[in-house]
Structure 1
Amino acid sequence: MLHIKPNQITCFWNPSIRKSVSVLLEPRVRLGTGWVGFGVCPETCDPKLVKMDKVKGILEVHVYTLSTRAWKKVSVKSQYKSCRLKYHKGVYVKGFIYWLERDDRTPPFGNESYSIVSFNLSNDEFGKVCLPRSLQLSECLELSKWNECLTVIDHAEADIYDHSLNIWMMKDDGVAKSFTIMFHIEPMFPKYYNIFELRKNGEAIIETRCANDDDDDDDPILQVYDPCSGHVNDIRIPWSGHDDIGKTESFFSINSYMETLLLLDQ
């Protein structure tokens, strides 16, 4: 588990054995232009931290290896120096960290389509994963994972209160035709919903909000969606967006967790 504090100190934390190691992000990650990813080298079982930032429009990459307790700058091939990555969170799957890339520039300067950029923790090199055409041209994509497989969440429509979701899974690393639809969620109007994580059994943990007449969203509700039956069940967690002062903006955050002995010798 990785946690980044506001003072740019990163913490490797293993709750299974209650050990943590703090790392200073150096050089610092600039707000709005930097990306941080965490994973484990499959060959050495060594935790790594990948820090990327744009300097004068060119991607610079530094990798921290826990065994050496040191950062190193890695070379970036020319075709990846101008990557236009989306979001700050990378998804780690089987020795690779994946980020979404979208060139929002209109033609002829860009192509307004999605792709996936990968970082190989074995050799510290970038690669690309080609998406099916329908996903390349999607309105909005998100990355997640299910049972050590990379998944892509496709928001099929732009209207958040009347949209459907398709969950795609990549069976083979980097092969476009291996992307297949796991399941489809129909619109739940007048509810807005968002997928957080996928359970091992394939159920989706979702957040739902209902629109009301005041154009304000109700407090979020945490639920579980069963793709086999289509049923949605509440997770009984008390939650309120109110405090003693007044209404506040409330939100959920969920991350997957795996038991491991990493950091045992630290």
Structure 2
Amino acid sequence: MSDNIPFDLQQIIISKLPVELEEIILNKLTVDSIPIGLQSLEHQHQHLLVRYKDAVNLELKYVSIADTDTDTFPQNTVSVTVPQSVVNLDEPYTTIDSPHGLLCLFSITDRKAVIWNPSLRKAVDVVLPDIADDEMCRTVLGFGVCRETRDPKIVKIKMDTKIHMDGGVYVFTLSTRIWRSVYSSNVPSKVTIFGEEQVVVGGVVYWLAIPRVGGGDWYGNLIVSFDLTSEEFGEVKLPDRLAHTHCNLSMIKPRESLVAIEGCVEDSELVYHVWVMKDGVPKLFEKLFTISSHSPYGSLNSIRGFRKTGEALVELQARPSIRTLAAYEPYSKSIKNIGTSEKHIYVYSYTETLLLLDQPVITN
């Protein structure tokens, strides 16, 4: 792109192009022809965004670690400039990562969501209307990017005291900044409890859920999905082992795959069994490995994510009030210390992206 065109105008031109043409142009540009502020984005590097509370002054911090294949990991670590809208967000809040390099932070207390691009150091606020979180009513939220349009979307599901979805399903689309009611022909069972945990894989949002069995008891596990392109719901049936486990079940998204983590206490020791859904086929889950170990850095506390190399990122209890993040290689069982914190550590994998480049920073 010509150096005679002002940088701001270049941003506007790129943002107005069709998605396919935009991707072609960005991929074909040489590093020298891209504005300096966007040069690193052309390479689509993988990073880990780590959120933790400093053990000394209890300050909440974010750092970015280049997720390289080399032995230099995790030496390339830099502090992240956090937008003021994120700093001002009341805790507790939920953060969801996206395959398109965006994160979305939800605060029920603030009735607000913040869509954040760490690569561009840019965030956009979104008001969450008609939010409920009490004994009478509850709101479930999800976030992701549409596969076809690359438009960020927030889905809001409102449930009443009977734990059904008659309260409605609404979708916010960033390009229009409008909330609209969504009709889905395959809304999941009205007797399902959604968990707060969710992941996004390939433009589909997944929630862990608990169905009501027979006469009315809540029992078992299943996964409810929402496709951000078709805006249709679906259900992912788990294999019997996971559907009826009495252990703690959670989900993680390594390398654009849906992974279920089964945390159990076996022989007085906490172990984690890692299962991956094969080829996107429901009920076809394969056990990858089990993590059960003590290390010089502490005892296993939880799995926080995965590197692109397949190493698990685990939280270790170093001593009563200190936890540390480590990279665990499941086959050699070697472990590498990354850092320490006072409270829980959260890890989000993201790639550099130009999404939000054309967005004004205003409150919806």
TM-score range, shorter chain: 0.7 to 0.9
| Structure 1 contact 29–51 (Cα < 8 Å) conserved | no
Match of 2:239 in 1: 132
| Structure 1 contact 118–128 (Cα < 8 Å) conserved | yes
Moved more, 50-59 or 121-130: 50-59
Q: Which runs of 5+ in 2 are unaligned?
A: 1-102, 360-364
Match of 2:160 in 1: 55
Moved more, 251-260 or 120-129: 251-260
The offset of 1:218, in angstroms, is 3.9
1:115 equivalent in alignment to 2:222:
yes
Q: 2:122 aligns with which of 19, 26, 47?
A: 19
Moved more, 182-191 or 222-231: 182-191
Distance in 2 separating the partners of 1:85 and 1:27: 18
Q: 1:169 aligns with which of 276, 285, 291?
A: 276
Q: Which amino acid aligns with 2:349?
A: S
Q: Which runs of 5+ in 1 are unaligned?
A: 212-216, 242-249
Q: Which amino acid aligns with 1:156?
A: C
Q: Larger Cα Rg: Structure 1 or Structure 2?
A: 2
| Structure 2 contact 172–180 (Cα < 8 Å) conserved | yes
Distance in 2 separating the partners of 1:198 and 1:234: 14
Match of 1:247 in 2: none
Match of 2:89 in 1: none
Distance in 2 separating the partners of 1:262 and 1:81: 35
Q: Deviations over 1:43-76 (max 9, x none)?
A: 1111100112212422232110111110012235
1:2 equivalent in alignment to 2:110:
no
What TM-score do the two structures reach when normalised by structure 1?
Answer: 0.84
Distance in 1 separating the partners of 2:213 and 2:227: 30
| RMSD after superposition | 2.4
1:181 equivalent in alignment to 2:287:
yes
Q: Which amino acid aligns with 1:108?
A: G
- C-alpha distance 78-145 of structure 1, shift in aligned 2 (>3 A): closer
Match of 2:350 in 1: 257
Q: Deviations over 1:170-196 (max 9, x none)?
A: 12224322x112221125499342000
Distance in 1 separating the partners of 2:134 and 2:357: 33
Identity %: 34
- C-alpha distance 116-198 of structure 1, shift in aligned 2 (>3 A): same
Q: Which structure has more helix as a fraction of its residues?
A: 2
Q: 1:199 aligns with which of 297, 300, 307?
A: 307
| Structure 1 contact 47–66 (Cα < 8 Å) conserved | yes
| Structure 1 contact 130–174 (Cα < 8 Å) conserved | no
| Structure 2 contact 151–173 (Cα < 8 Å) conserved | yes
* Number of aligned positions between the proteins: 247
Distance in 1 separating the partners of 2:240 and 2:121: 44
The offset of 1:89, in angstroms, is 3.0
Distance in 1 separating the partners of 2:174 and 2:113: 12
Match of 1:229 in 2: 332
- C-alpha distance 4-175 of structure 1, shift in aligned 2 (>3 A): closer
Q: Deviations over 1:122-174 (max 9, x none)?
A: 11111001111111112211011111111111113378x61221111112224
Moved more, 221-230 or 4-13: 4-13
SS at match of 2:349: coil
Structure 1 runs (4+) deviating above 6 angstroms are none
| Structure 2 contact 271–291 (Cα < 8 Å) conserved | yes
- C-alpha distance 30-111 of structure 1, shift in aligned 2 (>3 A): closer
Distance in 1 separating the partners of 2:218 and 2:133: 26
Match of 1:38 in 2: 143
Match of 1:150 in 2: 258
Greater RCO (CA < 8 Å, at least 6 residues apart): 2
SS at match of 1:27: coil
Distance in 2 separating the partners of 1:97 and 1:134: 23
Match of 1:28 in 2: 131
| Structure 1 contact 8–29 (Cα < 8 Å) conserved | no
Q: 1:85 aligns with which of 187, 191, 194?
A: 194
